[in-house]
Chain A
């Protein structure tokens, strides 16, 4: 049964001792693997009578990306390491320094064969999910912002067919890459996501925090925050832009009239009829958008700043990682 965003509701929130940055769902279960600010990777079963996350293994800093490749968990964090953990054997396969600076995200292609990691060394790396072999280093994002601060590479997303991966950085640049060759195939500009304060703080905030391709790969959704007045706070409106991939033209820009903060997760429904956005500032939010009609379907407050969401294939059930909480939500009729 297709998910109904109009019927969205939060089923249950569970408090957690640390900030949960990323999670992924084990297929055909209610079990998620998630990474947290206590440097650990956990598994939690939302279907269990008692919600008790189980520690699997650790990193040496915040764990900011987790992905599944069969029975392998691939995780990355601010320790710059990628870890490959065999959860069936409960054994670490390898853990290696994969980036020169913080790893911001780890994502698997839909077929589970390829992993992309992005880091503040401004390099995206493609890995063979099975062997852990490095396939390509994708270099093209500037290391410095225009005002000479270190830039950051926050976001990445595959097309459903796994042939293209997009990466997005702090200053609003998006690069499209051919997965097979590692060559750049396009660039998009979304500068509104980056705020530089030239008059008071002389510092910046923002950046592209999430990316998602439509199922046909023709549209790219970009998430973050709109322009921020006082950059001490995440007070910019939650913002989503849509781009036509073929022309690199922006086709829609949407800012929430209700919520401020960063859109940290974007995901198209399987039929492309709606788009989920989630994120937060002091508090969190869910945005349900109609990318075809270019309108908001629904906006809902979340119980925490949301850092990541994973869903069942039909998106009828959402598992959510956030600030000291994990949650389960539904979009069922």
Chain B
């Protein structure tokens, strides 16, 4: 099965200069959302999102929709959760205890079974084709909710391997709404002022830059310069918040609770970013595409996710942050019920699951169900467009009334043919 090309480290190296370049090149088409319909209320309440992306495809049968003792069920058992009647895989014992904060959707039926198409389609919400590239959910939220008062970038992506600025996430919104990726949770390269430069010299340099910017802006579009200033301001803000990246300040107890493995460390960094007020924090985990040796693969990955995810849900609840934070954990598709000759599971967009919780989401809800063997959805099928409607509504944004303004072209923020899953909404 073909995989999407993986980004090379060069693609994602970030410096303030590169960030500036990327933004300026695209003209920073800072497209205004209709001011009359923007979710001002949500913005006031400081809504946030934690988006956990399990790249390659979490097996629904080894997670949220187990079918034990059936032909395709695999070896794992189902366990009860804190919500009577809801059972999930035994690989998720910690998440099971948090189920009263969560909702499950077991009726996902999406269309693409390749990574290259599925990743994009799912994260862009599969709007109708209007000749533009829609933003990823993170960029959309960054645009619609803004940065809040944190002064930090609105869309931060904690991911394995390399970091950098990811402008392509923003689609037609322009790179200003791309993701700032923290490779392995670390601060962007060149974030801090070099030790060889004094603060005074740095200020002088910035003054010179401002002067050059002003002259450059005289014959250029205003939004280009706005984007430029935005990027430099963000870099300056990040320099002030270097504490966010100082892992020595994490509580050893929290490090243990989240797990010393990668997703544990990254989830803990994500919590700090949310606490600091970042609007949208995405945490990615790689290695979930278990075509071969699925049970050993998912059996080693899911417990790590479970430990970190459950710790996060518990902490967000204890801090009162679930009241204003939407949490989503998902992949680009599920995995085949049929167990292949590699003892693996292949790609399966026909019937899969996700978990979500927090603001606007009905606690303990389960939407839809699959048939006894887990092969197909037995109730109404739901595509990603339905989820985008649901998530926007959960964030207080009405997708029926809110539009993007693409230089005069009104564009819906979610597929018009879909609607929210009302049974999942609080």
Instruction: Spell out A's residues near B (CB within 8 Å).
Output: 17-19, 37-39, 60-62, 78, 102, 147-150, 152, 197, 199-205, 230-235, 261, 280-284, 304-305, 323
Contacts and interface: CB of A to CB of B under 8 A. Distances in A.
B94 to A, nearest CB: 15
B287 A233 contact: no
B75 A78 contact: yes
Contacts of B291: 232-233
B244 interface: no
Given A60-B77, A200-B6, A231-B287, A150 B343 contact: no
29 contacts: A17-B71, A18-B71, A19-B339, A19-B343, A38-B71, A61-B77, A78-B75, A148-B261, A148-B262, A149-B301, A150-B299, A199-B161, A201-B289, A202-B262, A203-B286, A205-B293, A205-B296, A230-B3, A232-B289, A233-B292, A233-B342, A233-B344, A235-B292, A280-B341, A281-B341, A281-B342, A283-B341, A305-B341, A323-B341
Most buried by A among B71, B301, B343: B343
5 A-B pairs with the lowest CB-CB distances in the bound complex, closest first: A203-B287, A201-B287, A234-B292, A78-B75, A62-B75
Interface in B23-38: none
Contacts of B287: 197, 201-203, 231
B341 A232 contact: no
A200 B286 contact: yes
B371 interface: no
Contact of B297 (A102, A203, A261): A203
A256 B322 CA distance: 54
B69 A39 contact: yes
Interface in B258-302: 260-262, 286-287, 289-293, 296-297, 299-301
B300 A150 contact: yes
Contacts of A38: 71
B77 A232 contact: no
A144 to B, nearest CB: 9
A122 to B, nearest CB: 13
B4 to A, nearest CB: 11
Contacts of A280: 341
A147 B299 CA distance: 15
A147 B6 CA distance: 21
A60 B75 CA distance: 9
Given A201-B56, A233-B292, A323-B341, 20 more contacts: A17-B71, A102-B75, A147-B261, A149-B300, A149-B301, A150-B300, A201-B286, A202-B160, A202-B286, A203-B300, A230-B3, A231-B287, A231-B292, A232-B289, A234-B292, A234-B342, A281-B292, A282-B340, A305-B343, A323-B343
A301 to B, nearest CB: 13
B56 A232 contact: yes
B77 A305 contact: no
B292 A304 contact: no
Contacts, number: 85
B292 A149 contact: no
Interface residues of B, number: 34
A150 to B, nearest CB: 5
B303 interface: yes
Nearest to A305: B341
Contacts of A233: 291-292, 342, 344
Contacts of A283: 341
A2 to B, nearest CB: 33
B304 interface: yes
Nearest to A39: B69
Contacts of B3: 230, 232
Given A232-B289, A283-B341, A149 B69 contact: no
Interface SS majority for chain B: loop
Given A38-B71, A200-B286, A205-B292, A149 B341 contact: no
Nearest to A284: B341
Contacts of B300: 149-150, 203-204
A17 B339 CA distance: 12
Interface in B155-179: 160-161
Most chain A CB within a 10 A radius of its CB, from B76, B161, B299, B304:
B299
B382 to A, nearest CB: 27
A18 B69 CA distance: 12
A204 B290 CA distance: 11
Give the most central of A202, A282, A283, A323: most B CB within 10 Å: A202
A308 to B, nearest CB: 13
B160 A152 contact: no
Contacts of A204: 300
Contacts of A150: 299-300, 303
A205 B343 CA distance: 12
In this complex, which of B77, B261, B292, B293 has the most chain A Cβ atoms within 10 angstroms of its Cβ? B292
A278 to B, nearest CB: 14
Contacts of A18: 71
A252 to B, nearest CB: 26
Contacts of B290: 232
A200 B291 CA distance: 15
Contacts of B340: 282
Given A234-B292, A281-B292, A61 B75 contact: yes
Nearest to A64: B75
Contacts of B75: 37, 61-62, 78, 102
Nearest to B160: A202
B48 to A, nearest CB: 27
Nearest to B293: A205
A61 B342 CA distance: 19
Contact of B341 (A37, A78, A102, A282): A282
Nearest to B296: A152
A147 B141 CA distance: 34
Nearest to A231: B287
A149 B261 contact: yes
Nearest to B285: A202
Contact of B293 (A147, A149, A197, A234): A234
Contacts of A148: 260-262
Contacts of A305: 341-343
Contacts of A304: 341
Nearest to B90: A61
Contacts of A61: 75-77
A230 B1 CA distance: 11
A197 B292 CA distance: 15
A233 B290 CA distance: 7
B342 A282 contact: yes
Give the one of A60, A147, A232, A283 with max B CB within 10 A.
Answer: A232
A149 B301 CA distance: 8
Contacts of B286: 200-203
B301 A203 contact: yes
